[in-house]
Structure 1
Amino acid sequence: MNISKYVTCVICLMLLFGCSPSINDASGYKKAGINEEIPVPANAQSSTDQFDNPNIKKGEKYILKNIGGEQGLYRPKEYFEEIKNWGWEELKSEQNGHVHFFSKGETIISIVIKEDYFQLYEMKEDFEFSD
């Protein structure tokens, strides 16, 4: 194979495999659409999210390949560390399966981790955890 075909092949492979968003990409973080004080991975693709929970003030869904692992069973350790770096405290005692809670001041954020996507919700001010 001559060098120009080789270079073209390598570029095509890079474009094919290098463009899918992944939690492992080192592309940093950006402000979430629902609350500028909480980060989301910069390569996460935002979309609107439907919800009917009366405790939710606003929500957003983010598509991100490899977050949560198979069936969303794994917590995204690096992402949660970044959230803590932004001043949020994880409320581990309130975790319920795929649902994780963080607080900062009077604001509570819920993050639902699934396979290849996550949902980010800002809870209403009068939200209380059920016993």
Structure 2
Amino acid sequence: MRKNILMSAWIALALLLAVGIFMQQESGAGTEPSATASGKSESTSCVYPKEFMKSHHMQVLDEWRHDSVREGDRIHVTPDGREFEKSLNTCLDCHSRNKMFCFMCHQYANVKPTCWNCHLSPMEVTK
């Protein structure tokens, strides 16, 4: 019984440490994201605010996919006039610093996105 409690405590500590490391890597250790590789933006900030993207990124990606593939509209213009290419690469230009960026949250939420059916995952891309 005592051994099980001790093992559970070690596992919980390891998970907390892993989440802390992930959050530090995800935040870029205090650095701002770089501009997109599309060359469409001189911006150093995300397309939408962080809290919005945490809860709505799938809707944004679905809308971008529909606009790009079905409508031929490949440029997103923000209300403040910044332009971004409607591409998964726009997101990965900044968020690929942590190759596990997508996978950690999706695993935690127990969801299985289909992005990697067509796109290379950040873990498969070599720079």
Whichever structure has more strand as a proportion of its residues is 1
Q: TM-score range by the shorter chain?
A: 0.3 to 0.5
User: Could you state the TM-score of these two structures normalised by the residue count of structure 2?
Assistant: 0.32
User: Could you state the TM-score of these two structures normalised by the residue count of structure 1?
Assistant: 0.32
Whichever structure has more helix as a proportion of its residues is 2
